[in-house]
Chains A and B, each alone.
Chain A
Amino acid sequence: MAEKPRIKLPKEAKKGEVIEIKTLIAHPMESGLRKDDAGALVPRKIINRFTCEFNGTLAFACELEPAIAANPYFQFTVRVEESGTFRFTWIDDDGTAITADESITVS
């Protein structure tokens, strides 16, 4: 899980612009339904929550179930009114939180 999440968003935007954000994180999203070679169930281990905050305010969130494909990918939009920093957080079933920050200049 050392791999850094991949995030794509514009570096600059106009005030009030609705920007598009794409995020991808490497994760097996083990559903808990799959069997290993010996026929034993592989225990569930997924990212169960993803959030995107802008300057500390929640902009977008998702509760994930095992039916989200491996390496969860999201594309969504945020309306930006001021320059600031996005904080992206992925929460694993084991309680680990993976975070990433990206800043944007709004003129």
Chain B
Amino acid sequence: MRALSRRTALALGLGTAAILAGVDRVCATPSEADEAIAKFAGGKKPEPGRIAIELPEIAENGTAVPLTVTVESPMTAADHITDVLVVADGNPNPRVATFSFTPMSGKAEVATRIRLNATENVIVVARTGDGRFLAARKEVKVTIGGCGG
């Protein structure tokens, strides 16, 4: 096997750059993610903490990234988590999902698989039964985007 010629290597590089540029154009801006969060929180500022986000540090394939969200809560009728919003700030549409829990849930915990477009932040905002908001974020490095741009 011969090593890559300089011309081939250059062509490959240009191709990759073109693909990356194409993906860039369909990305949401972080401000769109902020807007989605502000809408969910009704303008209130979420407090940090009580949320654990489980995501791989590096996702080789952005088409199905395992995500687990756990919010610390006794989940009683008086004190429970009602809704959890998941946002990915580099996706074409930053909203990923909104989960609704009830005291019947027992735990405010959910696992699913999400699509990530590029290296970006996943932000989780939780609403408590008494109308407070909690938030946490985690960065994921994505090798191949999963939004089909």
Chain A contact residues, CB within 8 Å of chain B: 18-19, 31, 33-35, 54, 57-70, 72-79
Chain B contact residues, CB within 8 Å of chain A: 26, 63-65, 68, 75, 88, 91-93, 95-107, 109-116, 146-149
Known: A33-B149, A34-B148, A70-B63. A60 touches B105 (CB 8 A): yes
Who on chain B is nearest to A16 by CB? Answer: B106
Give the docked Cα–Cα distance between A32 and B96 (Å). Answer: 14
A-B contact pairs, 16 of them (CB 8 A): A31-B115, A33-B147, A60-B104, A60-B105, A61-B100, A62-B110, A65-B93, A68-B115, A69-B146, A73-B111, A73-B112, A75-B112, A76-B105, A76-B111, A77-B107, A79-B104
Inter-chain contact A69/B114, CB cutoff 8 Å: yes
CB contacts between A and B, total, < 8 Å: 104
Give the docked Cα–Cα distance between A61 and B82 (Å). Answer: 10
Inter-chain contact A59/B111, CB cutoff 8 Å: no
Inter-chain contact A64/B107, CB cutoff 8 Å: no
Closest chain B CB from A58 CB (angstroms): 6
Give the docked Cα–Cα distance between A91 and B49 (Å). Answer: 33
A54 to chain B: which residues have CB within 8 Å?
Answer: 104
Give the docked Cα–Cα distance between A76 and B109 (Å). Answer: 6
